[in-house]
Chains A and B, each alone.
Chain A
Amino acid sequence: MSDQSNTPVPEPPDAEAQTRIGVDSWVAESEDRQARKRGFFGPAARGWDASPDPVKLFLFIAVAGTIPFWMNEGDLFVYGLFTVLYATLGLGLNVVVGFAGLLDLGYVAYFGIGAYGYALVSSDHYGIHWPTLASLPAVMVFTGLIGLGLGLTSRRLVGDYFAIVTLFFLQAFLVFTNTANPVIHGIGLTGGSSGIGNLDPLEFFGYSLTSVKQQYYFFLLVLVLATAGLYFANRSRTGRAWRALREDPLAAEVMSIPVNRLKRLAIVMGAALAGLCGAIFAAIQTAVTSSNFTLNVLIFIFAVVILGGIGSIAGPILGAIVINVSFQFLQPQNDHPSIKRWLFYGAIVLFIALMKPWYRAVVVLVGTVAFGLAVHAIVSATAAASWTAGTVTDAGSGSAGKAIADWVVIPNQTLHGGFATYAYIGLVVLVCVVRSVTGWWRTVVLIPTLYMAAVVWENVLAPNPAVTAEILFGVLLIVIMTVRPQGLIGTARVEII
C-alpha cells in the first residue's frame, strides 16, 4: 500500500482531472467496494452486498408496504405516491440513459402520450370507455410504437443529435396538446390548455381504485414488477449487450452486436414504461393537461436518475426517495418554516464541521459569527435605521428570531428593494472566488461567504420557498455532476483505452 512506503511518489499535477487509464472496471469497482466496507456504515454495507438480490427487493416491499399504516392520506399522496411515480419513471429513463447510453431529453413526452392516450379511451371526451385491463396495455403498446418511430430516426443520430431531436419532440408534443389541438370528430383532440377531465378511475375485477391507499399499493406493485423485469433484463445477454453499447458503441458494433436494434429496444421499453406511468397518473389525477409534462418534470426525473446513479437499478428508487421527499418537504404548503430555518443553519454548521483540520473549522465558525456581529454593528451605527429594520420571516420562537435579526443585516424591504439583488449577486461572486483560491486564502474568504449566504437566505430565499426549491434543484444538478458524477450508488465509470 502506498501509505507504507517512506518516500511517497508525488501524483502527477493534473491527476484529479485525468481519467484512470489502463484500469479495468472490475478493479475500479472493487476499490469502491473496499472503501464502502471500511466506512461508518461498513457492516450494513457488507450485509447489503452479501444478501441475494431478491431479499433486497423483499425488504423494500416490506418497508414500503407498511407506510400507509402510519401516514395520513394527504402526506401519503405527496410523499408516498409521488415517490413511487418518480421511481418508476426513473427506472424507465434509466433503461434509455443508463443501459443504452442515449441521452433522451424528450422522455416526459412518452409520459404525456400515455396519459393522453388513457384520457382518450377512458373518458367522456369521445365517449369511449375501455376497461382498465384493456386500456393500460393498449396505451403501453401505443407509446412503445411512438418510441419505436422516434428510435427509427436514431440510426443517423448519435449522442448529441439524439438529445436535440428528443428535446424538440417534447416541445412539439407540448405545442400539439396545448395549442394546436386539432379538431377531430367535432371536438379538439387534446382539449387545448384545459386538457381532458373526468377520467375513469382504474378498475380491476369490479374494484375501483379511488382512495390514495389503493392507488399507492397498485403503483407500488407496478414499480416492483418493473424492477424485477429490469433486473432480469440486466442480467441477460441483452443487458450485457446494452452495457457494451453504453461504453463504446463503435467497438460494440465491430463486435457484431446489433447496435441499432438494441438502441431501439431500449427506447421502446423506456417509452412503454413511461406510457404505463402516464396512464396510471392520469387515472389518479382524473384529469390531464399539458402542464403536467413540462421541462421541469423532465429535469426532476433526470435528477432522480443521476442522484441515484446511472445504470444501477436500485439507484432511481433511492434517488426518487431522496429527491421527492426533500423537494416536497421544502414546498411552502408543508408548513415548516422554522424547521427549514434550522435545517439551513444546521447545514452550514455541518459544512463547517466537516472541514478537515479541526482548527480550521473552529476558525471559520468563530470568524463567521464575529464577522456578522461586526458588520451588523457597523451598519447600525453608520447607516439609517431602516437598514436593519426588517424582521425575520416566520420567526419560529421570538428569541431565536431576534438573535438572528441582530446578527444578519435585514433591511426594510420596501425602502431598499435593490439590496436583495446585490446581495444575491455578491454571494454568487463570493462562491466563485472561494472555488478559485486554495489553502488559507480559501478559509479567509469562506467567512464572508457564509455570512453572505445567511444574509441572502433571510432576505431573499426564506420568503420565497417555492422558487428557492427550484434554485436548489439546479444547484444540486451542478454539484452532483462536478463532485460525484456516478451518483449515490452508481459505479465509477472508467474510460478504457
Chain B
Amino acid sequence: MLKKIGLVAVLAALISVVVATTAWGSAKAPRAAAAATASVKCGKRVSIGVAYPATGGVAFLGALQFDWAKTALSRWNGSHKLKIKLVQGDTQLTTNAAANLAVAHSFASNGKVLAVTGPAGSQEVQDSAGVYKGAGLAPVSGSATRIFLTRSKPGNTRETAKGFFYRTVPNDGQQGDAVANYIHKNLNKKRIYIIDDEEAYSQGLADQVQQDLKNVGINASRNHVAQNVSDFSSLIAAIPSNTQLVYIPWQQAAEAQTFASQLHANGKNAIVMGSDGIDAPGQFKTPGSYVSGFPVDATNPVYKSFTKAHKGQPEAFGLPTYTSIWANATAIKMACKAGHGKTTRSAVRKDLLKVKLNASQSLLGFPVQFLNKNKSTFQGPGDMGGTADFAIYKISKNGTYTRVK
C-alpha cells in the first residue's frame, strides 16, 4: 500500500516536472537582457572579468596573459582615479571547455563585472558568444585569432554578433598573410614544410599560410606533431633534406628551440620560421631563424620594466591582454564620465568603439582603434584597424631579435 502511494507520488512529481519544463518559455530572456542595462555605480566596485586558462594543458600561456593583465591593472590603478578590480575566470582551455561556459555565466551574473578580457581561444569565444551577448557584455580577446570571429565569408557566417566581440590581436588572416608574403617575396623560398601542433591556433595559422602559398603556386608539405611530444627525431627524419624553410606556428617556445636545434643537428639546414606563439627571446634563439610577432617598441618603459621583473622574459604572447585591459578600462572610464558616476554594460560596450590608444599606450607598437566595418581582405568589425599587423623578426647570432619587416 505504502509502495503504491509512493509510486503515485513519484509519478505526480514527474508529471509536474515535465509540465514545468515545457511551460517555462523563453519569457525568461528579459532577465538576462536586464543585466545589460542595469545601472552600476562607478565607485570601488567596478570590475573587469579576465577569462584565461589558469589550469590545464595551456596554463603556461594563461600565466603569460595574466601576468600582463596584472601589470595593466596596477598601472591603471596607479595613474587613474577610477579604480578597477579584476575578477579571474579559469576557462581551462584544452582541458574542460565546459569551464569556459561556467566562467561566462559567472561573469554574466556578476553585477560588478562591466567588461570582459578574454577568452583566450577562438573556439571558446564562439561557444560563449551567446551567453555574453545575452548579458550585454562584449569580450575583448587578446589571443583569439580565428578570422570568422569578426568577418564572414561566402559559405562561412560570422561567428559572433557584431558589436559583441573585439580583439586586440591581429587575426590569422593578417598573420598568415604577413608570413606567406615574407616567405615568398623577401626570402624567395619554394620548398616549404609546415608543421602544426594540432591545436586550433596552430592549425588556423598553418591552414592560412598553406592556402596563401598555394595561391602563388607553392605547394607546401604539411605535417603535425602533438603539442606535448618533444621527440622530433622521427618527424625530422620525414622532412626531405632539400627543404628550404620549415614553418612552425607553435605555442611552446622551448619545444620550438629543441626542434630547430635537432633539425640542424641532423644535418638539415632549412630555415625555421615561427609565429607569435614562440616569440620569446630568452627561449627561442636559433640563429638565422625568423619569428612573426608584434612590432613592439623595445624602449617602452613599461615593456622594459616588465621584462626585468620577469627574468628577462617579455612574455610577448600576453601583450595583447595588457592592451585589452587598458581598452576596457578606458571604455569604462568614458562611460562613467558620461553617466556622471553611474553606467551600464551596454554603455561600456558602445564606448569600446570610441577607444583610441596610441602606440605607446597599447604597447603593441601600433595605435589601436576598433573597426566598425569590414576592411581589406581579413578584417571585420571588432578587429583593430589602422596599422595593426604583425612584424617579422630575424634572430641573430647572439640570440637577439632584429626587426626585418
Contacts and interface: CB of A to CB of B under 8 A. Distances in A.
Asked whether the complex places CB atoms of A and B closer than 8 A, the reply is yes
Given A205-B22, A294-B94, A333-B103, 9 more contacts: A61-B17, A73-B108, A75-B105, A194-B203, A218-B21, A291-B94, A296-B56, A335-B110, A466-B92
Nearest to A413: B309
Contact of B3 (A54, A62, A470): A54
Interface string A46-78: 000000111101100110010000001111011
Contact of A211 (B5, B13, B28, B97): B28
B15 to A, nearest CB: 10
B20 A217 contact: yes
Interface in B99-151: 99, 101-103, 105-110, 122-123, 126-127, 130, 146
Contacts of B99: 331
B265 interface: no
A218 B90 CA distance: 27
A207 B22 contact: yes
A65 B6 contact: no
Interface size class of B (residues with CB under 8 A): 35 or more
Contacts of B49: 333
Contacts of B101: 77, 285
Interface in A200-218: 204-205, 207-214, 217-218
Interface of B: 2-3, 5-7, 9-10, 13-14, 16-18, 20-22, 24-26, 28-29, 31-32, 49, 51, 54-57, 59, 87-90, 92-99, 101-103, 105-110, 122-123, 126-127, 130, 146, 159, 198-200, 203, 224, 226, 309
Q: State the main secondary structure of chain B at its contact with A.
A: helix
Contacts, number: 178
A84 to B, nearest CB: 12
B130 A286 contact: yes
Nearest to A332: B88
A82 to B, nearest CB: 7
Contacts of A58: 6, 9-10, 13
Interface stretch (A2-10, A220-228, A338-346, A433-441): A220-228
A197 B160 CA distance: 12
A296 B96 contact: yes
11 contacts: A58-B13, A74-B109, A179-B198, A195-B97, A296-B95, A296-B96, A297-B96, A328-B102, A332-B89, A333-B102, A466-B55
A58 B146 CA distance: 48
Interface in A282-309: 285-287, 289, 291-292, 294, 296-297
Interface of A: 52-55, 57-58, 61-62, 65, 72-75, 77-78, 82, 178-179, 192-195, 197, 204-205, 207-214, 217-218, 220-221, 224-225, 228, 281, 285-287, 289, 291-292, 294, 296-297, 328, 331-335, 414, 464-467, 469-470
Contacts of A61: 10, 13-14, 17
A52 B96 contact: no
B6 A77 contact: no
A211 B106 contact: no
A211 B55 contact: no
A286 B22 contact: no
Contact of B109 (A73, A221, A281, A285): A73
A52 B10 CA distance: 12
A393 to B, nearest CB: 11
B104 to A, nearest CB: 8
Contacts of B17: 61, 65, 217, 220-221, 224
Nearest to B87: A335
A411 B2 CA distance: 66
A174 B301 CA distance: 45
A54 B96 contact: no
Contacts of A55: 6, 9
Contact of B90 (A208, A213, A214, A333): A333
A464 B101 CA distance: 20
A470 B16 CA distance: 38
A179 B196 CA distance: 11
B109 A214 contact: no
A192 B88 contact: no
A293 to B, nearest CB: 9
A367 B61 CA distance: 42
Top 3 A-B pairs ranked by shortest CB distance? A74-B109, A54-B6, A333-B89
Given A217-B17, A228-B10, A297-B96, A211 B126 contact: no
Query: Which among B13, B96, B103, B203 has the greatest number of chain A C-beta atoms within 10 A?
Result: B13
B109 A72 contact: yes
B40 to A, nearest CB: 15
